[in-house]
């Protein structure tokens, strides 16, 4: 049987389908103390011994802050139709409150102008995890005031860029912010308190709703509004499979989709977590604020998650795909265990399961048929090797990443064909970057970054993705050769 999307059976995406790449501020920008930027929780966390691999920090990262124009040219050379980036809140409001820092806003204004000048659609995320440390010092996302501060920040950014950004995303993966940040301790601020995690869930949902309202009030170019969630596609095992799946689906997925898209918290979520919190932090009117019409729902997908009810005797397994830092990301559900999954795996240890993406898109379409979707992240880390050619140019041959992307794009295409209103696909990531707790040990880029020299080298996957972006048709999985002018090495 031919592989879908090879030369024999080309798969084409619609003319207005957004094919782009994604990054996040703290992961690529560097310049952590420049031009008035204040510290974020990720600065504090990464500078705390034992929190990140090799004590890596985002101080320099891929130095994107200083290489903006070159990186914009790089995106243009890849034929990207859209670029998803995030804004650093502490670059714009160093303490999370008060007047805007003009230099911070100026950086993002130049970024947006640079994208538009190159015909690339700007997709801006307001929050990809870098909370101003000053707000964390007052309780962070466990403090309702943080949601209100976020609304003010949204207004400031909307006033500055609200004539040019095409798609606004309020939050990236609030699941990670809440449960890894306040529950398991794997992410900043590194707290391990289940009640705090659930409080954060609600305040993040509220922050989203308030921010959408603020943006709507000030934007002038009729943009689209969205939020990006990392869905857990669950595989249940054992006698209690359905119960294990139901519990984790409530905590991980429906804790966000139901208030955002239906205006209420699921009853089973409230019951499951009753021993952890009474949810008294939900105030009258909050759900009305949260329940804002969304033009797009952003979907991040990498792997599936296997769950089983724990029998209480054997050692409880905790293979939920994240670093074990002592706490639990699953408040109220200690009876669920997370099983290792069969391969193949990426360098993150995450299983490769493109069918999971198709199932997720179909499931979301069934649950929320009116809701347009966009894949805002999908991609893979592998152990890449930079090779030097005789003429001193460089290359990275990454057939596994090309194969991963090909299979997931084919899965997305199947969902599209089945009637899912899917508007685009963003590969994670444009370039190698600071992979949170894993520091620089994991490379997700389609562009290789040499952190010593900051030289960018197009991996084979970047050349492959360029052909996809330019033709809107899935190219073959065999490595694509570089056209003469662009070469495989830059910088």
Q: Which residues are catalytic?
A: 173, 377
Closest CA relative to residue 19, chosen from 303, 413, 382: 413
CB closer to ligand FCB, 127 vs 310: 127
Distances (CA, A) of 115 to 70, 170, 228, 316, 328: 12, 20, 21, 48, 40
- 475 phi, psi to nearest 5 deg: -75, 165
- Neighbour tally for 254: CB within 10 Å: 18
Distances (CA, A) of 482 to 112, 320, 388, 402, 464: 28, 39, 15, 15, 9
CB closer to ligand FCB, 17 vs 428: 428
Q: In the complex, what is the shortest distance from the CB of residue 404 to ligand FCB, in angstroms, rounded to a whole number?
A: 13
What span, in angstroms and rounded, lies between the C-alpha atoms of 139 and 144?
A: 9
What span, in angstroms and rounded, lies between the C-alpha atoms of 459 and 446?
A: 6
CB 300 within 8 A of CB 361: no
Q: In the complex, what is the shortest distance from the CB of residue 428 to ligand FCB, in angstroms, rounded to a whole number?
A: 5
CB closer to ligand FCB, 265 vs 428: 428
CB closer to ligand FCB, 24 vs 147: 24
Helices (H), 78-143: 89-92, 102-117, 133-136
Closest CA relative to residue 457, chosen from 422, 417, 489, 409: 489
DSSP letters of 422-469? EEEEEEE-SB----GGGGGG----SEEEETTTTEEEEBHHHHHHHHHH
CB closer to ligand FCB, 308 vs 442: 442
The residue with tokens 């080309």 is 10
Q: In the complex, what is the shortest distance from the CB of residue 443 to ligand FCB, in angstroms, rounded to a whole number?
A: 11
Q: Which residues bind ligand FCB (CB under 6 A)?
A: 24, 27, 172-173, 176, 230, 300, 377, 428, 435-436, 444
CB closer to ligand FCB, 27 vs 489: 27
CB closer to ligand FCB, 69 vs 383: 383
What span, in angstroms and rounded, lies between the C-alpha atoms of 39 and 131?
A: 9
Q: In the complex, what is the shortest distance from the CB of residue 433 to ligand FCB, in angstroms, rounded to a whole number?
A: 8
- Neighbour tally for 89: CB within 10 Å: 28
Sign of the CA dihedral 57, 30, 425, 427?
A: negative
Q: In the complex, what is the shortest distance from the CB of residue 179 to ligand FCB, in angstroms, rounded to a whole number?
A: 12
CB closer to ligand FCB, 435 vs 460: 435
Q: In the complex, what is the shortest distance from the CB of residue 129 to ligand FCB, in angstroms, rounded to a whole number?
A: 7
Mapped onto helix, strand or coil, the DSSP state of residue 184 is: helix
What span, in angstroms and rounded, lies between the C-alpha atoms of 162 and 216?
A: 9
Mapped onto helix, strand or coil, the DSSP state of residue 238 is: coil
Q: In the complex, what is the shortest distance from the CB of residue 37 to ligand FCB, in angstroms, rounded to a whole number?
A: 19
CB-side neighbour CA atoms (13 Å) of 370: 5
């Amino acid at each position: 049987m031919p592989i879908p999307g090879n030369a024999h059976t080309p798969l084409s995406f619609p003319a207005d389908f957004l094919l782009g790449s994604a990054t996040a501020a703290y992961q690529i920008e560097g310049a952590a103390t420049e031009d008035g930027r204040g510290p974020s929780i990720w600065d504090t966390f990464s500078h705390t011994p034992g929190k990140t691999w090799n004590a890596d920090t985002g101080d320099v990262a891929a130095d994107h802050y200083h290489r903006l124009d070159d990186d914009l040219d790089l995106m243009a050379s890849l034929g990207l139709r859209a670029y998803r980036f995030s804004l650093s809140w502490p670059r714009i409001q160093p303490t999370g409150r008060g007047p805007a820092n003009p230099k911070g806003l100026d950086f993002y204004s130049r970024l947006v102008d640079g994208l538009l000048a190159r015909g690339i659609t700007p997709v801006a995320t307001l929050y990809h995890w870098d909370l101003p440390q000053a707000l964390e010092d007052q309780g962070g996302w466990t403090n309702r005031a943080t949601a209100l501060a976020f609304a003010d920040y949204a207004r400031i950014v909307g006033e500055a860029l609200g004539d040019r950004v095409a798609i606004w995303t309020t939050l990236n993966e609030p699941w990670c912010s809440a449960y890894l940040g306040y529950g398991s301790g794997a992410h900043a601020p590194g707290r391990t308190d289940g009640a705090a995690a659930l409080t954060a869930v609600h305040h993040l949902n509220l922050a989203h709703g308030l921010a959408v309202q603020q943006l709507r009030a000030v934007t002038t170019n009729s943009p689209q509004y969205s939020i990006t969630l990392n869905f857990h596609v669950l595989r249940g095992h054992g006698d209690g499979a359905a119960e294990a799946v139901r519990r984790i689906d409530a905590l991980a997925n429906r804790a966000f989709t139901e208030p955002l898209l239906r205006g209420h918290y699921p009853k089973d979520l409230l019951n499951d977590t009753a021993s952890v919190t009474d949810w008294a932090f939900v105030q009258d009117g909050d759900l009305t604020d949260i329940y804002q019409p969304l033009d797009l729902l952003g979907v991040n997908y990498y792997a599936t998650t296997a769950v089983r009810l724990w029998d209480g005797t054997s050692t409880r397994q905790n293979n939920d795909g994240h670093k074990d830092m002592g706490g639990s990301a699953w408040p109220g559900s200690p009876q669920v265990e997370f099983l290792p999954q069969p391969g193949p795996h990426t360098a993150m240890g995450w299983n490769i399961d493109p069918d999971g993406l198709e199932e997720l898109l179909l499931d979301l379409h069934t649950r929320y048929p009116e809701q347009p979707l966009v894949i805002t992240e999908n991609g893979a880390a592998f152990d890449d090797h930079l090779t030097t050619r005789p003429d001193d140019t460089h290359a990275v041959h990454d057939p596994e990443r090309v194969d991963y992307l090909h299979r997931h794009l084919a899965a997305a295409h199947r969902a599209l064909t089945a009637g899912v209103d899917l508007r685009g696909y963003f590969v994670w990531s444009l370039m190698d970057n600071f992979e949170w707790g894993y520091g620089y040990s994991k490379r997700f880029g389609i562009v290789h970054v040499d952190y010593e020299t900051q030289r960018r080298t197009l991996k084979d996957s970047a050349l492959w993705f360029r052909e996809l972006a330019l033709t809107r048709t899935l190219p073959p999985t065999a490595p694509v050769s570089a056209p003469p002018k662009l070469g495989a090495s830059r910088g």
